[in-house]
Protein backbone atom coordinates (compact mmCIF):
# COMPACT_ATOMS: atom_id res chain seq x y z
CA UNK A 1 0.00 0.00 0.00
CA UNK A 2 1.35 3.43 -0.92
CA UNK A 3 1.54 6.22 1.59
CA UNK A 4 1.82 9.94 0.99
CA UNK A 5 5.62 9.95 1.18
CA UNK A 6 5.80 7.31 -1.55
CA UNK A 7 3.43 9.30 -3.74
CA UNK A 8 5.36 12.53 -3.18
CA UNK A 9 8.61 10.80 -4.18
CA UNK A 10 6.97 9.32 -7.27
CA UNK A 11 5.62 12.74 -8.24
CA UNK A 12 9.07 14.31 -7.76
CA UNK A 13 10.62 11.59 -9.95
CA UNK A 14 8.01 12.19 -12.66
CA UNK A 15 8.76 15.92 -12.45
CA UNK A 16 12.47 15.24 -12.96
CA UNK A 17 11.61 13.01 -15.92
CA UNK A 18 9.61 15.87 -17.45
CA UNK A 19 12.39 18.37 -16.79
CA UNK A 20 10.50 20.37 -14.17
CA UNK A 21 12.49 22.46 -11.70
CA UNK A 22 12.63 20.51 -8.45
CA UNK A 23 13.46 23.56 -6.35
CA UNK A 24 10.39 25.52 -7.49
CA UNK A 25 7.70 23.21 -6.16
CA UNK A 26 6.96 22.47 -2.51
CA UNK A 27 4.22 19.94 -1.85
CA UNK A 28 3.35 19.17 1.76
CA UNK A 29 0.06 17.33 1.34
CA UNK A 30 -1.99 15.62 -1.32
CA UNK A 31 -5.03 17.86 -1.21
CA UNK A 32 -3.54 20.96 -2.76
CA UNK A 33 -5.36 23.02 -0.16
CA UNK A 34 -2.51 23.66 2.25
CA UNK A 35 -1.07 27.17 2.25
CA UNK A 36 2.32 25.47 2.48
CA UNK A 37 1.99 23.95 -1.00
CA UNK A 38 3.99 26.37 -3.13
CA UNK A 39 5.12 26.77 -6.73
CA UNK A 40 7.21 29.54 -8.22
CA UNK A 41 5.86 31.23 -11.36
CA UNK A 42 8.68 29.59 -13.35
CA UNK A 43 7.78 26.14 -12.02
CA UNK A 44 4.08 26.66 -12.76
CA UNK A 45 4.88 27.83 -16.29
CA UNK A 46 7.09 24.75 -16.71
CA UNK A 47 4.23 22.48 -15.69
CA UNK A 48 1.84 24.25 -18.09
CA UNK A 49 4.36 23.89 -20.94
CA UNK A 50 4.32 20.10 -20.53
CA UNK A 51 0.63 20.16 -21.49
CA UNK A 52 -0.17 17.56 -18.83
CA UNK A 53 -3.46 18.43 -17.16
CA UNK A 54 -3.73 21.61 -19.21
CA UNK A 55 -7.48 21.31 -19.90
CA UNK A 56 -8.19 20.86 -16.18
CA UNK A 57 -5.89 23.76 -15.31
CA UNK A 58 -7.56 26.05 -17.85
CA UNK A 59 -11.02 25.06 -16.63
CA UNK A 60 -10.03 25.94 -13.06
CA UNK A 61 -9.30 29.56 -13.96
CA UNK A 62 -12.00 32.22 -13.59
CA UNK A 63 -13.55 33.75 -16.71
CA UNK A 64 -13.54 37.53 -17.23
CA UNK A 65 -16.90 39.07 -16.44
CA UNK A 66 -18.37 35.69 -15.51
CA UNK A 67 -17.06 34.14 -12.30
CA UNK A 68 -14.49 34.02 -9.53
CA UNK A 69 -11.98 36.82 -9.06
CA UNK A 70 -12.69 38.09 -12.58
CA UNK A 71 -16.48 38.28 -12.26
CA UNK A 72 -16.45 42.06 -12.02
CA UNK A 73 -13.41 42.56 -14.27
CA UNK A 74 -14.55 43.24 -17.80
CA UNK A 75 -12.41 45.35 -20.09
CA UNK A 76 -14.90 45.46 -22.96
CA UNK A 77 -17.78 43.49 -24.38
CA UNK A 78 -15.37 41.97 -26.90
CA UNK A 79 -13.36 40.19 -24.19
CA UNK A 80 -16.10 39.45 -21.67
CA UNK A 81 -16.22 35.70 -21.21
CA UNK A 82 -13.15 35.11 -23.36
CA UNK A 83 -10.26 35.56 -20.91
CA UNK A 84 -9.27 32.95 -18.34
CA UNK A 85 -6.78 34.21 -15.78
CA UNK A 86 -5.97 34.43 -12.10
CA UNK A 87 -6.19 37.81 -10.42
CA UNK A 88 -3.64 38.15 -7.66
Q: What is the pLDDT of residue 30?
A: 67
Q: What is the pLDDT of residue 68?
A: 87
Q: What is the pLDDT of residue 88?
A: 64
Contacts 24+ apart (CB under 8 A), 27-34: 29/4, 30/4
Mean pLDDT over 49-60 rounds to 85
Mean pLDDT over 55-80 rounds to 86
Q: What is the pLDDT of residue 11?
A: 82
| DSSP structural state of residue 69 | G
Please state, rounded to an integer, the average pLDDT across all residues of the chain: 84
Give, in order, the Cα–Cα distances in Å from 48 to each of 24, 31, 38, 70: 14, 19, 15, 21
> Is 80 exceeded by the pLDDT of residue 42?
yes
Amino acid sequence: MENYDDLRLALAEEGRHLGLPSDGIVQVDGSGLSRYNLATPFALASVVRTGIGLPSFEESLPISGVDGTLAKRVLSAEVSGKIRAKKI
